[in-house]
Structure 1
Amino acid sequence: MRPDILFPLFAPARTLPGIGPRLEKLVEKLAGNKVVDLLWHLPSGLIDRRSRPKIAEVRDGEIATIEATVGLHVAPRNSRLPYRVHVSDDTGEMQIVFFNARPDHLLKTLPEGARRILSGRIEFYQGQPQLTHPDHIVRPEDMAALPLLEPVYPLTAGLPLKAVQKAARAALKLLPELPEWQDPHWLKARGWQAWHTSLRAAHAPQSLADLETGAPARARLAYDELLANQLALGLVRLRMRRLPGRTVTGDGRMRRKVIDALPFALTNAQTRALEEILSDMKSPHRMLRLLQGDVGSGKTVVALLAMLNAVEAGFQAAMMAPTEILARQHHATLAPLCAAAGVRLELLTGREKGSRRAEILAAVASGEVDILVGTHALFQEEVEFRALAFAVVDEQHRFGVHQRLMLTAKGGVGTDVLVMTATPIPRTLTLTAYGDMDVSRLDEKPPGRKPVDTRALPLDRLDEVVESLRRALTKSAQIYWVCPLVEESDEVDAAAAEERHKHLQSIFGDIVGLVHGRMKASEKDSVMARFEAGDIRILVATTVIEVGVNVPSATVMVIEHAERFGLAQLHQLRGRVGRGDDKSSCLLLYQAPLGETAAARIRIMRETEDGFRIAEEDLRLRGSGELLGTRQSGLPSFRIARIEEQAELLSAAYDDARLVLNADPELEAPRGRALRTLLYLFERDEAIRYLRSG
């Protein structure tokens, strides 16, 4: 249970002054629906009202705080014109301007002849200074109530800054005194203050430097958040280690047959990764390992050899892919190799129905099926394995942790899990997203993969591109044409693809095919099969072909509106070509003029094919929140920490969490109890359930 002391912070945001029913939804959209969400919503700017010029000294555009005597009120002739109030000091005079004014209210606030302090942005109109709708109007004796330094918060349309400022001030008043969860020596070495002191300081910046991620108050809070994340992942990992596992050691006979049937030798990276996986399988603990490989680095072969290790030992294995196209692709790739090894392989997706489905399910339950490949259909209740010992989850970021756990539960006693991703992930993201796993990296390409010639052209040269395709077709090339991401919507993306398909079909005829996310699975398969067979020579597609599609004869990739794609996605798409013996090329078509970030992406794509370098650059350009479509996937998003800028803090949090859990796995010592509070504070409650005494 969340400790009572934190209850006020988890009250609804609407309980804060300034947030009525009308603003509640906007605050929720901006920051969240709890008081604590406003505490994590830190200022992004600062209004400095310390400049106190005389009227003759004011400058256009500056924020100024002036003391003046109120003069004449000039009401407008009609309501569309502004209401003006003249004010003066011993150096000159200026006007205060109000639109949609209430005269009775203004006469009370600015009585003629009275002294007032006015603060706001000065504007010059027809050469004369004026102040439109001052931010503050106070009497000289109330000067102390005027905030000379005012935090500016990120806002959303319809939400006034004053309301967020007021709510944040009220939220800060609810801060409880909490036990310190950070190591005192570490705090001293970094020059950091206590948690509540840091939080108050972060909401009250004194200079622009205080808004930087490296400012002491912000860095302290970021470290708290990173430590909560690493502790939570560490607890999941501990729990996996505690669950009973099984020792799986095959005799190698099937693996040898597959290795002999391969047209190439395994790379050093493949051999190393396989040894790490086999060593995990041999240990009595459950395996949870991430296999990261760049496009075309041979992950599927490593996964197959690991699955065969389980089959050799008398068990079953399963491989789960996020889409039907990818599941069928894996099945097609593995089938000849499994046949060479004498292993029964089956495919199970939503499309296998009726008696065929019943037959597969019965064979899986009886143990006749050695390896089952499928989509998330694999973890439906009706699927029962006789002895599942090894599960491969492909493209992990498309699945949540819970789906992964559901599949492992199918094995009864500790199923070993290998998670694969073809999206190279920067080390910092690996730690935050997969910190509960051991990691193997395939950083070499199998021999024979040819480099892809990458070029960039503006979209207004489309006719030239079409002409170059005509030439490529005479040399029997096959071509992908990927249509732009219009928005996160299959429907709109499909419409864009249909347009381009129509256009190219009018030029090249029936050799142009189309595949997009709105089509039925059977239609998609039929188009892909015709493309593989060479009946379709140009395949117009949305990003459904991003991962796993393997057509070695395809040698040209055209990406339309390349500026709309992230780097990792461009790299994935380019990886669909360069798989056969012929020279391949990738054309990035962009809409000129290019923004700075888009230009940087295209430059990096032309410079390198190293997916790990591309991933690091993508993180730098986009920030962790956008990478891998974080918002849609199981990756954590951080409220305060910026891992692209604070990798060193993340490494420290990783080490700190390991040390804490090694010494105090149940978080029972004084610091451990305080760290439980930290986990609750950052809503990592799930992890606390993994504590024996939690």
Structure 2
Amino acid sequence: MSGRPEILFPLFAGLTKLDGIGPKTAQTLEHAGVVTPRDMLMTLPVSGVDRHRRASIRDVVPPAVATVEVTIGEHHPPRTRGRPYRVHVEDAQSSFQLVFFHARGDYLQKLLPTGQRRIVSGKVEIFDGIAQIVHPDHVVPVAEAEDIPAFEPVYPLHAGITQKAMWKATRSALTDAPGLAEWIDPNLKKREGWPDWHAAMALAHAPQATSDLSPHAQARARLAYDELLAHQLTLALARAASRRATGVASAPTGVLSNKVLAALPYKPTNAQTRAISEIAADLKTPLKMNRLLQGDVGSGKTLVALMALLGVVEAGGQGVMMAPTEILARQHLDGLRPLAENAGITLEVLTGRDKGAARAAKLKALAWGDIHILVGTHAVFQKDIVFNDLRLAVIDEQHRFGVAQRMELGAKGRAVDVLVMTATPIPRSLALAQYGDMDVSVLDEKPPGRPPVQTALVSIARMDEVVEKLRKAVADGRQAYWVCPLVEESEVVDMTAAEERFKRLRATLGEGVVGLVHGQMPPADKDAAMARFVAGETKVLVATTVIEVGVNVPNASIMMVEHADRFGLAQLHQLRGRVGRGTAASTCLLLYQSPLSESGRRRLEILRETEDGFAISEEDLAMRGAGDVIGTAQSGLPRFRIADLERQAAQMAVAQTDARALLADDPKLESDRGQAARTLLWLMEQDKAIRLISVG
């Protein structure tokens, strides 16, 4: 796979090779992310303008675009500065004016010579009872009428680039573009009635009607599928490569895990049992496991993770459980330790806080294999940390952890089996886009004995009532979270919002009852404030969203979210999951500012109606779009130019199946279709994938 195939060279040449693009325009386009003719082709029109010829402007209802043949009459230059220049014209049935501001008279005389005929196209408006077109979009001699398309595509624009320039450049890119061998499965292509790649590009850039701009139009659907297929091929290649990396077969014996299961006060759910056996089956094979454990808040992921870790310990290896923050690492430790004691194994924690002799002692025990399971933060990645026989890494709350870090983990031992846990139910299409290189286990049931959380919507205007109710609840020995939103990403303002609320609640509820946690506090203070709340010393914890992930305080049974209308659905669902962890009936109050927008009200009502995280996430995706649901910046989500993850979710699943099937038949992509698929990867700039084939 030495380099880019020659057939694609024209698509990756400089932009100045295209008609009408000089060095300056090329620079502007580059700033907008259009660097090659290929990028130009992947920039599809966003709308279109109907410019088919009419006999007269009478055929349209102003304001509307009309394209008509006119005879040019008198010119009326402005008498005073700042007034417009007017040219009188007549079509077959009526007369109107062409209006120009700041125009040079000599230029207009040349463009519109009195007595001659021209085709003009532009927006007809009525001003003071007179029909006019201000700055027509097109003025051409009758012989060149063909230059005005009947349905003109409108491109997304950037300052300094005109529609005309985009039109010319895209035509020129199409002329240079080669025909490419087909990489789509022939049966699929036939079933969908999709055109070839080049034909699809040509059609997408020359829409004949608004319906051709829909993501479901055949040409566009095909081009979107090309992007999804390239993405899923890359993930499938990564999956194949990571599975080839020989892992270690760890055959769980059940000796330890059975002890833990026997000591549990309840039976695992069917979903937990299924996930445990899927993981055990992966551990037994010498192929490297790369599995995502997706479970809603409170679905019992910790137990599944522990069973996996015990499985490798039974087989003589070690396991590590990684959390994104120190608080969460310690919490995992507290959750796992009593269970691990039933099995009689050694569990330790390692975070950035371990220093000096204590740290050295832990490192020694790890290297000797005396610690069976290590719980920690990213600190376990440091160079001096050596395991005796690391076989499984469990990673909690994955989106802060991309594919690159997953690879790095493999370097800690022989190809370590990886289990990633996420408490964010992600809609299937996004899960495929983000984790398509992984196999997925889903926990979609809740363990018995968890009371549902009552969710209510309350206007902020009723704040005094709310605080009074809270005072009574605290007097009854209940604990509550009070979450304040991040205001406009400004940490300073966010701090003040939380601090203000803290002061007010402290004044009402009394000294020592209320604690405060926000992003600007030193980590040690944050941990101390959390610890006081966990111990039940403080009854109310005022916090910004730092508590969203994973904090476990079974006695906390009230969740107040101030300005709930400013949070995303998934975030609110996560926050609500912080209560209802004990036996007490729990409440979540969503305080909102009236009046609520239509979508704001819809969001809060969905939460009131359901506790099913998967249903909530599908709704969230429909309302907000993919980037927002995962938070695009750190999501590792691909940025597609044509494909639309929300509308083409079903295609993503087809692409995954197709990509995996192609690689199963042709692992090195050597067949005709395999070679075409390589061209597709080059075309979509999936260099990583190309490296994976050449390594393979």
Determine if the alignment matches structure 1 residue 690 to structure 2 residue 692. yes
Q: Residues 31 and 38 of structure 1 are in contact (CA less than 8 Å); yes or no, is this contact kept in structure 2?
A: no
Query: How far apart, CA to CA, are the structure 2 residues paired with 1:226 and 1:17?
Result: 30
Aligned residue number for residue 418 of structure 1: 419
Shift of 1:6: 2.1
Determine if the alignment matches structure 1 residue 235 to structure 2 residue 224. no
Aligned residue number for residue 72 of structure 2: 70
Match of 1:272 among 265, 271, 274: 274
Superposed, 1:592-611 pairs within 5 Å as: 592-611=594-613
Aligned residue number for residue 475 of structure 2: 474
Shift of 1:527: 1.3
Match of 2:514 among 507, 512, 515: 512
Q: Residues 12 and 33 of structure 1 are in contact (CA less than 8 Å); yes or no, is this contact kept in structure 2?
A: yes
Aligned residue number for residue 9 of structure 1: 11
Shift of 1:429: 2.3
Q: Residues 631 and 637 of structure 1 are in contact (CA less than 8 Å); yes or no, is this contact kept in structure 2?
A: no
The 3 A distance-change label for structure 1 pair 287 and 170 is same
Greater displacement, 230-239 / 256-265? 256-265
Aligned residue number for residue 400 of structure 1: 402
Q: Residues 502 and 542 of structure 2 are in contact (CA less than 8 Å); yes or no, is this contact kept in structure 1?
A: yes
Greater displacement, 328-337 / 75-84? 75-84
The amino acid that maps onto 1:482 is V
Greater displacement, 604-613 / 433-442? 433-442
Greater displacement, 201-210 / 331-340? 331-340
Superposed, 1:384-395 pairs within 5 Å as: 384-395=386-397
Greater displacement, 276-285 / 682-691? 682-691
Aligned residue number for residue 680 of structure 2: 678
Shift of 1:81: 2.8
Query: How far apart, CA to CA, are the structure 1 residues paired with 2:87 and 2:130?
Result: 14
Aligned residue number for residue 114 of structure 2: 112
Superposed, 1:192-591 pairs within 5 Å as: 192-412=194-414, 414-488=415-489, 490=491, 493-510=494-511, 511-591=513-593
Q: What's the CA shift string for 1:192-211, capped at 9, x where partnerless?
A: 11101101111211111111
Shift of 1:226: 1.7
Q: What's the CA shift string for 1:521-579, capped at 9, x where partnerless?
A: 21211111111122332222222211111111111212233233222222111101111
Shift of 1:158: 6.2
Greater displacement, 88-97 / 306-315? 88-97
Q: Residues 560 and 589 of structure 1 are in contact (CA less than 8 Å); yes or no, is this contact kept in structure 2?
A: yes
Shift of 1:13: 4.9
Shift of 1:505: 3.8
User: Could you say what secondary structure the match of 2:693 adopts?
Assistant: coil
The amino acid that maps onto 2:514 is V
Shift of 1:674: 0.6
Shift of 1:463: 3.5
Q: What's the CA shift string for 1:171-225, capped at 9, x where partnerless?
A: 3333122211123343222211110110111121111111111110011112212
Query: How far apart, CA to CA, are the structure 2 residues paired with 1:170 and 1:575?
Result: 55
Shift of 1:235: 1.3
Shift of 1:16: 4.8
Q: What's the CA shift string for 1:97-136, capped at 9, x where partnerless?
A: 2222222222221223332221111111122211111111
Q: Residues 378 and 407 of structure 1 are in contact (CA less than 8 Å); yes or no, is this contact kept in structure 2?
A: no
Q: Residues 179 and 197 of structure 2 are in contact (CA less than 8 Å); yes or no, is this contact kept in structure 1?
A: no
Query: How far apart, CA to CA, are the structure 1 residues paired with 2:96 and 2:507?
Result: 68
User: Could you say what secondary structure the match of 1:111 adopts?
Assistant: coil
**Cα root mean square deviation, aligned:** 2.4
Q: What's the CA shift string for 1:638-669, capped at 9, x where partnerless?
A: 32222333333233222222221121111111
Q: Residues 228 and 652 of structure 2 are in contact (CA less than 8 Å); yes or no, is this contact kept in structure 1?
A: yes
Q: Residues 185 and 658 of structure 2 are in contact (CA less than 8 Å); yes or no, is this contact kept in structure 1?
A: no
Query: How far apart, CA to CA, are the structure 1 residues paired with 2:324 and 2:244?
Result: 29
Q: Residues 310 and 390 of structure 1 are in contact (CA less than 8 Å); yes or no, is this contact kept in structure 2?
A: yes
The amino acid that maps onto 1:233 is L
Unaligned runs of 5+ in 1: none
Q: Residues 58 and 129 of structure 1 are in contact (CA less than 8 Å); yes or no, is this contact kept in structure 2?
A: no
Query: How far apart, CA to CA, are the structure 2 residues paired with 1:539 and 1:248?
Result: 44
User: Could you say what secondary structure the match of 2:631 adopts?
Assistant: helix
Q: Residues 482 and 559 of structure 1 are in contact (CA less than 8 Å); yes or no, is this contact kept in structure 2?
A: yes
Q: Residues 399 and 634 of structure 2 are in contact (CA less than 8 Å); yes or no, is this contact kept in structure 1?
A: no
Provide the identity percentage.
57
Q: What's the CA shift string for 1:481-525, capped at 9, x where partnerless?
A: 222243455555444434443444444454332222232221211
Match of 2:156 among 137, 154, 170: 154
Q: Residues 68 and 91 of structure 2 are in contact (CA less than 8 Å); yes or no, is this contact kept in structure 1?
A: no
Q: What's the CA shift string for 1:118-159, capped at 9, x where partnerless?
A: 111111112221111111111222211122221112345665
Q: Residues 623 and 642 of structure 1 are in contact (CA less than 8 Å); yes or no, is this contact kept in structure 2?
A: no
Shift of 1:163: 4.2
Q: What's the CA shift string for 1:358-377, capped at 9, x where partnerless?
A: 33223222222221122222
The 3 A distance-change label for structure 1 pair 616 and 368 is same
Query: How far apart, CA to CA, are the structure 2 residues paired with 1:311 and 1:159?
Result: 63
Query: How far apart, CA to CA, are the structure 1 residues paired with 2:162 and 2:324?
Result: 42
The TM-score normalised by the length of structure 2 is 0.93
Q: Residues 51 and 63 of structure 1 are in contact (CA less than 8 Å); yes or no, is this contact kept in structure 2?
A: no
Query: How far apart, CA to CA, are the structure 1 residues paired with 2:168 and 2:471?
Result: 64
Shift of 1:314: 2.0
Shift of 1:404: 0.8
Aligned residue number for residue 38 of structure 2: 36
Greater displacement, 250-259 / 430-439? 250-259
Query: How far apart, CA to CA, are the structure 2 residues paired with 1:418 and 1:687?
Result: 23
The amino acid that maps onto 1:266 is P
Q: Residues 346 and 373 of structure 2 are in contact (CA less than 8 Å); yes or no, is this contact kept in structure 1?
A: yes
Aligned residue number for residue 98 of structure 1: 100
Aligned residue number for residue 84 of structure 1: 86
The 3 A distance-change label for structure 1 pair 166 and 468 is farther
The amino acid that maps onto 1:556 is I
The 3 A distance-change label for structure 1 pair 457 and 200 is farther
Q: Residues 393 and 404 of structure 1 are in contact (CA less than 8 Å); yes or no, is this contact kept in structure 2?
A: no
Shift of 1:31: 4.3
The 3 A distance-change label for structure 1 pair 32 and 499 is farther
Query: How far apart, CA to CA, are the structure 1 residues paired with 2:499 and 2:31?
Result: 34
Match of 2:616 among 591, 614, 617: 614
The amino acid that maps onto 1:467 is E
The amino acid that maps onto 2:435 is Y
Match of 1:665 among 640, 652, 667: 667
The 3 A distance-change label for structure 1 pair 56 and 650 is closer
User: Could you say what secondary structure the match of 2:52 adopts?
Assistant: coil
User: Could you say what secondary structure the match of 2:692 adopts?
Assistant: coil
The 3 A distance-change label for structure 1 pair 503 and 6 is farther
Q: Residues 295 and 425 of structure 2 are in contact (CA less than 8 Å); yes or no, is this contact kept in structure 1?
A: yes
User: Could you say what secondary structure the match of 1:625 adopts?
Assistant: helix
Query: How far apart, CA to CA, are the structure 2 residues paired with 1:214 and 1:430?
Result: 22
Query: How far apart, CA to CA, are the structure 1 residues paired with 2:22 and 2:560?
Result: 51
Query: How far apart, CA to CA, are the structure 2 residues paired with 1:620 and 1:552?
Result: 33
Determine if the alignment matches structure 1 residue 646 to structure 2 residue 645. no
Determine if the alignment matches structure 1 residue 187 to structure 2 residue 189. yes
User: Could you say what secondary structure the match of 1:352 adopts?
Assistant: coil
Greater displacement, 37-46 / 469-478? 469-478
Shift of 1:57: 4.6
Shift of 1:9: 2.5
